[in-house]
């Protein structure tokens, strides 16, 4: 998609779908009803690309959230010695 935006009346969907579809494969198309923007159409490929991008951002946000929580834990002294933690885990596993 090249970043431009087309605006077309809703009647064009009924009377000229092929042209609207062609435009939507290049850039989003705003469909108007009574002169007001109502719906935006874009290609299936662009939709999938957008969904993948949103999912990627959500995954990054989750990682950043964990990192922020970890930084708070360190700053507030909510930490334990790794050797002690692993020793406790080893004891728990051996007790099984």
Q: pLDDT class for 10, splitting at 50, 70, 90?
A: very high
Q: pLDDT (tens digit, 9 = 90+) per residue, 57-90?
A: 999 999 999 999 999 999 999 999 999 999 999 9
Residue ranges of the domains in the chain?
Answer: 6-42, 46-94
Average pLDDT over residues 18-26: 94
Q: What percent of the chain has pLDDT over 70?
A: 97
Give the pLDDT confidence score for residue 5 in this predicted structure.
82
According to DSSP, residue 34 is labeled T
Average pLDDT over residues 87-95: 95
Residue 73 CB contacts under 8 Å (≥ 6 apart), including other chains: 79
């Amino acid at each position: 998609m090249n970043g431009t935006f087309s605006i077309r009346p809703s009647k064009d969907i009924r009377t000229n779908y092929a042209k609207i579809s062609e435009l939507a494969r290049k850039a989003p198309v705003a469909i108007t009803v009574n002169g007001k923007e109502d719906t935006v159409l874009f290609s299936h490929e662009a939709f999938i690309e957008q969904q993948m991008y949103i999912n990627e951002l959500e995954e990054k946000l989750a990682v950043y959230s964990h990192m922020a929580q970890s930084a708070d834990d360190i700053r507030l002294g909510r930490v334990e010695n790794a050797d002690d933690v692993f020793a406790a885990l080893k004891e728990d596993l051996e007790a099984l």
